[in-house]
Structures are given as C-alpha cells and as structure tokens.
Amino acid sequence: MKLYFLRHTEALDGMDDGARPLSDDGRSDARKLGQFLKRNAIEFDRAYASPLVRARETAEIVLQHSGGPQPVRLELVEAMTNGTSATAFQSWLSQLPTARHVLLVGHEPTISERVRHLLGMIRPDALGMAKGALACVETANRRTGALKWFLSPKRL
C-alpha cells in the first residue's frame, strides 16, 4: 500500500481557523499537484481529508485534476486533524480498507509527525512538510514504511 501524505496548500487568513478557504495560489498549487499525479499515472483507490475547509478543498482539487477511470469519493475524517493523537491515528490507519494508493490530506504539525513515525524518524526536525508538500510512503503493515519520494510544490 502506498500512502500519499499531503499537507493542504496555502489558505487565506481568517478568524475561524476551520473555515479558512484556499487562496488563489493554494488552488493553483493543488491543481499542479493533481496534474503531476495524473502525468505519473497515480490513481487513488481511497481518499481521506481533514474536515477543515482548506484540507477538503485541497483534496477535492487534487482528486479532480489527477483523474482516473473511477472517481474516488473523498471521506472527511477527524483522524486527519491536529486534534487526533498519534495512537488514535495509528488505530484509524490500521483499520483502513486495503487499497493500493491512498491520499491523506491534513495539517502541520501532525502530517509530518505521521510520516516521520512510519519512517522511524525520531528527531522532529528530520522532516517537515511545507504547504502543498506530498510524501509517498510505502507500507506493508501500516506501522512502518519506506519513503518512495517527497515533493514540494516549488518543484512543480
């Protein structure tokens, strides 16, 4: 199974953190990510995002532009929020249906913490994810994994 951890793209500032939509640059970066995935024939079987607006919008745009023969239904899950503990996330991850390619859209600091945990990285500064960064982690047991590639939006 390959897990694609994506930090949401740039959002507008606002008083209500959960309702902040993507900026024009954030929408553009999400489109570019989706197009990159399509060019590289990466088709998602499952997709999960934090219910916060900026994560949901990022996932929707990426899925729209990455395409594939079967549309993927985006599921909004609390497990992708910063309020979910590492233990609760691991439990949720272990119960996901089997799939080949799974998109997971969330927030800092937990999105990079999840990746570091799967890779066995202890130091918090060993890996950080900028807005729009995408990490592909291959895992057989959902407890450990190997980094297949890491992409920042500036590389697109």
Tens-level pLDDT at each residue, the chain (156 residues): 999 999 999 999 988 888 999 999 999 999 999 999 999 999 999 999 999 999 999 999 999 999 777 789 999 999 999 999 999 999 999 999 999 999 999 999 999 999 999 999 999 999 999 999 999 999 999 999 999 999 987 887
Tell me, yes or no, whether 92 lies in a domain. Answer: yes
Tell me, yes or no, whether 154 lies in a domain. Answer: no
What total number of domains does the chain contain?
Answer: 1
User: Could you tell me how far CA 54 lies from the centroid of its own chain?
Assistant: 12
Tell me, yes or no, whether 67 lies in a domain. Answer: yes
Q: What is the pLDDT of residue 153?
A: 78
- Here the CATH number for the domain that contains residue 131 is 3.40.50.1240
Residue 96's domain spans which residues?
2-11+19-137
Tell me, yes or no, whether 93 lies in a domain. Answer: yes
Tell me, yes or no, whether 151 lies in a domain. Answer: no
Tell me, yes or no, whether 143 lies in a domain. Answer: no
Q: Is the dihedral of CA 96, 102, 108, 112 positive or negative?
A: positive
For 23, the token pair is 């900026």
Tell me, yes or no, whether 144 lies in a domain. Answer: no
pTM over 0.75: yes
